[in-house]
């Protein structure tokens, strides 16, 4: 495994790739509702939307690998990690509320952004919830047998059964509703798919995965990337409203994509020599990643609404690539600048 001053290089690389994927999804889906289902533009947007969904699970897996692999006192988690997330949320929620007010002139319209944040800030609520659970989850990861049991059980409870029921509902709503009603009696909502992913990240990062299992995971990831796109395309053209189901947040396909990407990065960087210059570059990009995530939605919204450039402005394939690269670059520049400002750099990015 390639380390640099206690940094894990493949984590830095994954953060950059995951954020790029977040931006290419957001750059595309802003115009989803403006296209006709089945049109060339719709297909391109659906492609970018379906192929970037691995990003958030990868972020969560990195956090799980880092936090569950170290004995961090509970007080430190709250004072350092959770406090930073909370202060960042408060600042950026206010920023985006003012941004919405500037566009609409309506206090009532802008007010919900103070507590909900902008559309991408749900991630902060979720990650704080995971941080709160770290002391409990460490008890699970401390015992290999309990860890495997938790992963197998969560896989069935969180992914396989709910997704199976969701697919039943696509083709038979009545049967799907009845099946869901029975399943809801078990009331297993307390087990989140992101808790599972958090623990899974630790497991993959700290377990020697046999080569044949890795190759199977890579193949499954590629099949899921392709399958998510073609299945959603088919459902959309066939008139099903739930055409985004194949790449839903807690779908098994998105999980397999994330596992494949995470595993490929881990073993791809293993025993590989990285130049000091590249290590510094990856480390700096990783350092600015959180701030870039928080600011990218503003940059994208500004370009869409004030510069009039969207994924539909030109050929949608070229437009999404160009838009993603611009937003990615500008967001990192903004984050780098804020990181150099005392206090702000510590608490809001």
Distance between CA atoms of 251 and 232, rounded to whole angstroms? 13
The torsion defined by the Cα of 207, 210, 214 and 215, in degrees rounded to 10, comes to: 180
Q: CB-based burial of residue 312 (10 Å sphere; 0-12 exposed, 13-18 middle, 19+ buried)?
A: middle
Residue found by looking up tokens 């919900």 in the block: 112
Tens of pLDDT along the chain (349 residues)? Answer: 455 545 799 999 999 999 999 999 999 998 888 899 999 999 999 999 999 999 999 999 999 999 998 889 999 999 999 999 999 999 999 999 999 999 999 999 999 999 999 999 999 999 999 999 999 999 999 999 999 999 998 888 888 887 787 777 777 667 666 665 655 545 455 457 899 999 999 999 999 999 999 999 999 999 999 999 999 999 988 888 778 888 888 888 999 999 999 999 999 998 888 889 999 999 999 999 999 999 999 999 999 999 999 999 999 999 999 999 999 999 999 999 999 999 999 999 9
The tokens for 3 are 């380390």
Burial 201-233, CB ≥16 within 10 A → b, else e: bbbbbeeeeeeeebeebbebbeebbebbbebbb
Please give the pLDDT value at position 271. 80
Cα within 13 Å of Cα(212), Cβ side: 0
Q: Report yes or no: 195 and 146 within 8 Å, Cβ to Cβ.
A: no
Q: Mean pLDDT, the chain, as a whole number?
A: 90
Domain ranges of the chain: 3-347
Backbone angles phi, psi at 7, to 5 degrees: -90, 145
Closest CA to 322 of 349, 339, 303: 303
Q: CB-based burial of residue 25 (10 Å sphere; 0-12 exposed, 13-18 middle, 19+ buried)?
A: buried
DSSP tally for the chain: helices H, then strands E:
18, 2
Q: CB-based burial of residue 266 (10 Å sphere; 0-12 exposed, 13-18 middle, 19+ buried)?
A: buried
CA 121 to chain centre: 11
Please give the pLDDT value at position 240. 81
Cβ atoms within 10 Å, residue 161: 16
Distance between CA atoms of 38 and 40, rounded to whole angstroms? 7
Q: Report yes or no: 49 and 320 within 8 Å, Cβ to Cβ.
A: no
Closest CA to 10 of 195, 340, 271, 214: 271
Q: Sign (positive/negative) of CA torsion 27, 31, 37, 41?
A: negative
Please give the pLDDT value at position 74. 92
Q: Report yes or no: 20 and 331 within 8 Å, Cβ to Cβ.
A: no
Residue found by looking up tokens 């297993």 in the block: 188
Please report, for residues 52, 62, 280, 309, the alpha-carbon distance to residue 13 in angstroms, rounded to integers and kept in the order given: 16, 11, 12, 29
Burial 123-134, CB ≥16 within 10 A → b, else e: bbebbeebbebb
Residue found by looking up tokens 């798919």 in the block: 193
């Amino acid at each position: 495994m390639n380390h640099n001053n206690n940094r894990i290089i493949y984590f830095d690389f994954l953060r950059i790739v995951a954020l790029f994927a977040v931006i290419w999804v957001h750059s595309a889906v802003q115009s989803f509702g403006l296209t006709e289902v089945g049109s060339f533009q719709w297909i391109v947007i659906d492609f970018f939307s379906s192929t970037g969904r691995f990003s958030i699970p990868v972020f969560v897996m990195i956090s799980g690998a880092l936090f569950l692999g170290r004995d961090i006192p509970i007080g430190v988690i709250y004072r350092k990690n959770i406090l930073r997330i909370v202060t960042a949320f408060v600042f950026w929620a206010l920023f985006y509320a003012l941004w919405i007010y500037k566009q609409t002139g309506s206090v009532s319209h802008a007010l919900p952004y103070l507590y909900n944040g902008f559309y991408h800030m749900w991630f902060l609520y979720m990650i704080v919830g995971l941080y709160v659970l770290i002391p409990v989850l460490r008890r699970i990861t401390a015992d290999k047998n309990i860890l495997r049991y938790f992963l197998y059980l969560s896989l069935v409870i969180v992914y396989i059964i709910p997704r199976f029921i969701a697919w039943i509902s696509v083709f038979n709503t009545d049967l799907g509703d009845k099946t869901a009603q029975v399943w809801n009696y078990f009331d297993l909502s307390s087990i989140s798919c992101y808790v599972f992913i958090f623990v899974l990240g630790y497991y993959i990062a700290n377990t020697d995965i046999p080569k044949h299992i890795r190759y199977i995971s890579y193949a499954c990831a590629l099949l899921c990337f392709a399958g998510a796109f073609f299945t959603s395309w088919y459902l959309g053209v066939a008139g099903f409203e739930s055409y985004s189901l194949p790449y839903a947040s807690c779908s098994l396909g998105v999980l397999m994509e994330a596992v494949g990407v995470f595993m490929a990065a881990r073993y791809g960087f293993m025993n590989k020599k990285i130049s000091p210059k590249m290590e510094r570059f990856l480390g700096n990009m990783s350092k600015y990643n959180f701030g870039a995530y928080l600011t990218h939605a503003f940059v994208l919204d500004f370009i869409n609404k004030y510069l009039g450039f969207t994924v539909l402005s030109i050929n949608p394939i070229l437009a999404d690539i160009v838009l993603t690269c611009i937003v990615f670059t500008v967001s990192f520049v903004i984050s780098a600048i804020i990181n150099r400002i005392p206090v702000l750099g510590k608490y809001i990015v």
